[in-house]
Amino acid sequence: ATRSGDRSPKPRAGPQADRPSVNSLATIDLMRQNSPMSTSSWRDGQFHFDPETYLELVLAEVPLYAELQRRTAEATVGVSAVSILDLGAGTGETSAAVKALHPSARLTGVDESPEMLEHARRRLPEAEFFAQRLQDPLPAGTFDLVVSALAIHHLDGEDKADLFRRIAGVLRPGGRFVMADVVMPSDPADVVTPIDDGVHDKPSSVDDQIAWLRSAGLRPEVRWSARDLVVMAAERPVPAR
């Protein structure tokens, strides 16, 4: 999997600028379509998932899902969180994992599926959840932690870069953004997660997303990676006195 390294590529404009070459993309598309785990339910997009069977489906299609969630929660350690924002909260899996490490924090979550959020509310009745898209304005206020798991890959390159800028705008200085997601690997052989390239699912490379995070004024690093899955953490610097 691609790691951050020392090079800092410049963000490229355009919704498809973060995609590989046509030949590489064709190879990746073919491998995703032939994946033995691929099902139409994943390709319908997250907002079409049945909340009752969502966890079972994800565990079947993303064998490392439990580790991905654990690594996401672990990447929030070290922040004294009073307020947390979960983007693409779904049924509350990530919210619950992160809240367990920050039990006194106030949690806010957003997801475009009201049905998924009903499950999240039952699981975390003290939290506040809003049905909205990632492209919509973020909830009011500032946050010590912003987290997102398996959601941002639904955005194209321009929308990812815009979201990262808006996340930086709601993070308190010293706050941290933790993102766990499917990425476009440099090696087609690392494609293992079944998605629908370019329709509901638009994964970007690690290098591009690191560049967009840096452009937003954050300090990103890769915390964990496995094939086409990655966990990144990006901190908002504290201004020098």
Number of other residues whose CB lies within 10 A of the CB of residue 13:
9
Tell whether the model's pLDDT for residue 47 goes beyond 60: no
Q: How far is CA 36 from CA 39, 62, 74, 151, in A?
A: 9, 12, 30, 22
Q: Name the least confident of 68-77, 189-198, 226-235.
A: 189-198
- Per-residue confidence band for 9, with pLDDT thresholds at 50, 70 and 90: very low
CA nearest to 143, candidates 110, 162, 169, 161: 169
Q: Name the least confident of 46-55, 114-123, 156-165, 201-210.
A: 46-55
- Per-residue confidence band for 58, with pLDDT thresholds at 50, 70 and 90: confident
The predicted pLDDT at position 14 comes to: 41
Number of other residues whose CB lies within 10 A of the CB of residue 16:
12
Assigned token pair, 116: 């998924």
Q: How much is the average pLDDT of 121-144?
A: 97
Q: What's the pTM? A: 0.81
- Per-residue confidence band for 198, with pLDDT thresholds at 50, 70 and 90: low
Rounded to the nearest integer, the mean pLDDT of the chain is: 83
